[in-house]
Amino acid sequence: VKGIGRWTAEMLLMFSLGRPDVLPVDDLGVQRGMEVTYGLKGLPKPDKMRNIAEPWRPYRSVGSWYMWRALGVEVPEQGRGYKATMELPEEG
């Protein structure tokens, strides 16, 4: 269908068809969520996102939802509050 791209198809799979294992690597919210959650310097590239999300299989849609939610969480200033415990998976 003209005008329907990858992002739109992925949102349809996740929210209309309820597919549990969709990782929308082109979604800015998921990119920013990973950047914040994993303390990355800049937005992750699609390959990096796939590597990070590999342990989420077969529920990458749920992981993506949490990345969107991470953007609504206030991050404490350095040295105050709690320390994030999320770790990046080993590359390879």
* Residues that are catalytic: 27
CB of 52 within 8 A of CB of 88? yes
Token reading at 10: 């992925």
**How wide is the angle at C-alpha 71 spanned by C-alphas 70 and 77, nearest 5°?**
90
Residues 6+ apart with CB under 8 A from 24: 7, 10, 11, 14, 30, 64
Q: Give the three-class secondary structure for 20.
A: coil
